[in-house]
């Protein structure tokens, strides 16, 4: 039945995508995060939707007669520099080269998505469409799984779809946290327009937050807490947020088990926690790999290649200041880096890490700069709100990713692209182009007839 | 229940595609009517 529905709706999706490249780019993100193949069991599972939508977006862009001017900012250059750096590290990989190349090809598709966003997305409608696609993929999954969590009285453990980029529950929790501010922006913008959208987006926000608890992810919980605090500080609607947070806390209290409370409490005594200290061991081995290969690092996924892991373990005591307590490397199986920073450090070396952190910092600061400039020039209220929410989403990733191996995440690079668009197209369009006299003085004349 | 929500999400995605397509077409038309050249 699902197969029939998906196959029946596919031509309609393709028709809309062929008509406008921005729809194809939005659907590219949707299919990357929604993973349609995991939901069907029959003939519809044969189609590679992500590849198909990517192809439509690329062909659509090439055939587009009135392409907008290409805008490359410092952030765009940093992302591309990081991408070329990963090529160097993959060519010199010390791990399983087949696996490294496989993951590099996957990452090249993520960077292609970034480029597509920068090339195609140009105004509020496009921007909002992309965010809707994120909410209808990650937000939908949160709705579905959290409803199961509620129906089971808090017993259902939320996990990602096997084989998906968000297959791990910790990574899924982080994606939920990142989607929260994007959903909030859509709620502010579209909630007023219809009761269904208002209730739908409000409940999706609540289910996203409760979903983080349902995953039992401690990293996700910390990211949610930090995001909540930061969002509160940044928000112009503190009374509304206070009411929402209080309502959420009261509602969530019914579904929080004593096991979960004990798990969260263990954050305070992390140095006694085997699971956490196992991550610290992986961080240290990533660091050792970077010290041994400081220029290009070990290559993508090299740490998870057991011969490399066991070789690095021989130097485990080389840096005694790197505290690992009594924990030792597992000598039966390799582990992932469990931190975006140590993952990139081990995979790409010190220069690669510097480029990656520069991408994060630059996108965060650029989004902040859009907010300040938009407020200063009296731009429409949606513009600073959009920039703040993208900034918060990147911030959530930077915090929550500290204990996760999700460095090459599609959504992060799509957000980088949106920051470029916000700065170079959407802000530029509302910047005063000229000043015109109106008899009482000079007032700015906007170059852009703001939508919404 | 899961399949129902999944189907609703899929329908919402298709609706979103056509809403965005129609909105952009209307805006293009309005821009043309105003005599402003706006890229498609």
**A11-20 pLDDT tens trace:** 999 999 999 9
Chain B residues with CB-CB distance to A27 below 8 A: 13, 17
Residue, of A223 and A450, whose pLDDT is higher? A223
Using the beta-carbon criterion (under 8 Å), do B21 and A16 form an inter-chain contact?
A: yes
Residue, of A182 and A166, whose pLDDT is higher? A182
Chain A residues with CB-CB distance to B30 below 8 A: none
Using the beta-carbon criterion (under 8 Å), do B21 and A23 form an inter-chain contact?
A: yes
Contact between residue A165 and residue A409 where contact means Cβ atoms under 8 Å apart: yes
Chain B residues with CB-CB distance to A64 below 8 A: 40
**In chain B, helix, strand, coil percent, each to 5?**
80, 0, 20
What is chain A's mean pLDDT, rounded?
A: 88
Domain containing residue B4: 1-40
B30 to chain A, any CB pair closer than 8 A? The answer is no
A35 to chain B, any CB pair closer than 8 A? The answer is no
User: Residues of chain A with pLDDT > 70: what percent?
Assistant: 94
Q: What is the pLDDT of residues A91-114, one digit of tens each?
A: 999 988 999 999 999 999 999 999
Residue, of A346 and A331, whose pLDDT is higher? A346
Out of A219-228, A233-242, A391-400, the most confident range is A391-400
Domain layout of chain A by residue ranges: 1-67
A142 token code pair = 């949160």
A143 to chain B, any CB pair closer than 8 A? The answer is yes
Q: pLDDT band at residue A165, thresholds of 50, 70 and 90?
A: confident
Q: Using the predicted structure, report yes or no on whether residue A226 has a pLDDT greater than 80.
A: yes
Q: Which of A64-78, A311-325, A414-428, B25-39 has the lowest mean pLDDT?
A: B25-39
C-alpha Rg value of chain A to the nearest Å: 23
Q: Could you say which of B2, B17, B23 has the minimum Cβ distance to residue A144?
A: B2
3-state secondary structure labels for all residues of A102-163: HHHHHHHHHHHHHHHHHHHCCCHHHHHHHHHHHHHHHHHHHHHHHHHHHHCCCCCCCCCCCC
At residue A442, the pLDDT reads: 40
Chain A residues with CB-CB distance to B2 below 8 A: 144
How many Cβ atoms sit within 10 Å of the Cβ of residue B30? Answer: 12
Distance from CA of B28 to the nearest CA of A (A): 12
Number of structural domains found in chain B: 1
Spatial CA neighbour of B9 closest among A179, A18, A144: A144
Contact between residue A390 and residue A426 where contact means Cβ atoms under 8 Å apart: no
B33 to chain A, any CB pair closer than 8 A? The answer is no
- Please enumerate in sequence order all residues whose Cβ is within 8 A of that of A32, keeping only pairs 6 or more positions apart, or say none: A50, A113, A137, A165, A410
At residue A296, the pLDDT reads: 92
ipTM for this prediction: 0.89
* C-alpha to C-alpha distances, A325 to A272, A277, A313, A321, A329, nearest whole angstrom: 8, 7, 15, 11, 12
At residue A441, the pLDDT reads: 40
At residue A434, the pLDDT reads: 45
At residue A356, the pLDDT reads: 96
Q: Using the predicted structure, report yes or no on whether residue B36 has a pLDDT greater than 70.
A: no
Q: Could you say which of A1, A66, A136 has the minimum Cβ distance to residue B12?
A: A136
**In chain A, helix, strand, coil percent, each to 5?**
70, 0, 25
Chain A residues with CB-CB distance to B14 below 8 A: 9, 12-13, 16
A156 to chain B, any CB pair closer than 8 A? The answer is no
Q: What is the pLDDT of residues B19-34, one digit of tens each?
A: 999 999 998 888 888 8
A87 to chain B, any CB pair closer than 8 A? The answer is no
Contact between residue A325 and residue A380 where contact means Cβ atoms under 8 Å apart: no
B10 to chain A, any CB pair closer than 8 A? The answer is yes
A416 to chain B, any CB pair closer than 8 A? The answer is no
Angle formed at CA A58 by CA A430 and CA A387, multiple of 5 degrees: 30
Distance from CA of A305 to the nearest CA of B (A): 37
Q: Which of A43-47, A202-206, A442-446 has the lowest mean pLDDT?
A: A442-446
Q: Could you say which of B3, B16, B17 has the minimum Cβ distance to residue A2?
A: B3
Spatial CA neighbour of A325 closest among A288, A278, A287: A278
Distance from CA of B27 to the nearest CA of A (A): 10
Contact between residue A371 and residue A388 where contact means Cβ atoms under 8 Å apart: yes
């Amino acid at each position: 039945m699902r197969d029939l529905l998906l196959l029946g709706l596919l031509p309609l999706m393709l028709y809309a995508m062929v008509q406008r490249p921005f729809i194809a780019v939005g659907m590219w993100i949707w299919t990357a995060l929604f993973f349609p193949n995991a939901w069907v069991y029959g003939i519809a599972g044969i189609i590679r939707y992500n590849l198909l939508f990517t192809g439509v977006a690329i062909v659509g862009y090439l055939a587009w007669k009135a392409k907008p001017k290409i805008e490359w900012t410092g952030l765009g250059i940093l992302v591309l520099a990081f991408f070329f750096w990963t090529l160097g590290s993959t060519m010199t990989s010390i791990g399983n080269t087949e696996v490294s190349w496989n993951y590099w090809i996957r990452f090249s598709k993520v960077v292609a998505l970034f480029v597509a966003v920068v090339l195609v997305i140009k105004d509020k409608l496009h921007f909002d469409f992309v965010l809707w696609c994120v909410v209808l993929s990650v937000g939908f999954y949160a709705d579905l799984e959290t409803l199961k969590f509620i129906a089971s009285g808090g017993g259902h453990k939320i996990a990602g779809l096997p084989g998906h980029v968000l297959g791990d529950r910790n990574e899924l929790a982080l994606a939920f946290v990142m989607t929260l501010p994007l959903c909030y922006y859509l709620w502010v913008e579209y909630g007023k327009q219809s009761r269904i959208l208002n209730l739908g987006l409000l409940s999706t926000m609540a289910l996203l937050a409760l979903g983080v608890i349902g995953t039992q992810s401690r990293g996700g919980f910390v990211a949610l807490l930090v995001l909540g605090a930061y969002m509160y500080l940044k928000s112009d609607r503190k009374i509304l947020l206070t009411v929402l947070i209080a309502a959420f806390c009261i509602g969530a209290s019914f579904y929080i088990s004593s096991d979960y409370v004990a798990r969260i409490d263990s954050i305070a005594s992390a140095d006694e926690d085997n699971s956490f200290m196992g991550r610290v061991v992986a961080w240290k081995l990533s660091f050792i790999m970077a010290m041994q290969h400081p220029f290009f690092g070990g290559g993508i996924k090299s740490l998870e290649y057991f011969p490399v892991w066991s070789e690095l373990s021989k130097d485990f005591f080389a840096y005694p200041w790197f505290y690992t307590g009594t924990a030792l490397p597992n000598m039966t199986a390799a582990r992932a880096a469990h931190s975006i920073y140590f993952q990139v450090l081990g995979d790409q070396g010190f220069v690669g890490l510097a480029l990656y952190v520069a991408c994060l910092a630059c996108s965060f600061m650029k989004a902040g700069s859009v907010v300040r400039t938009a407020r200063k020039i009296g731009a429409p209220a949606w513009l600073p709100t959009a920039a703040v929410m993208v900034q918060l989403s990147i911030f959530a990733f930077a915090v929550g990713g500290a204990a996760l191996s999700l460095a090459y995440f599609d959504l992060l690079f799509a957000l980088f692209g949106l920051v470029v668009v916000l700065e170079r197209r959407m802000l530029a369009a509302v910047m005063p182009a000229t000043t015109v006299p109106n008899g009482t003085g000079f007032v700015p004349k906007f170059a852009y007839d703001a939508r919404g | 229940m899961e399949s129902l929500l999944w189907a609703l999400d899929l329908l919402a995605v298709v609706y979103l595609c056509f809403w965005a397509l129609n909105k952009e077409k209307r805006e293009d038309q309005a821009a043309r009517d105003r005599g402003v050249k706006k890229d498609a």
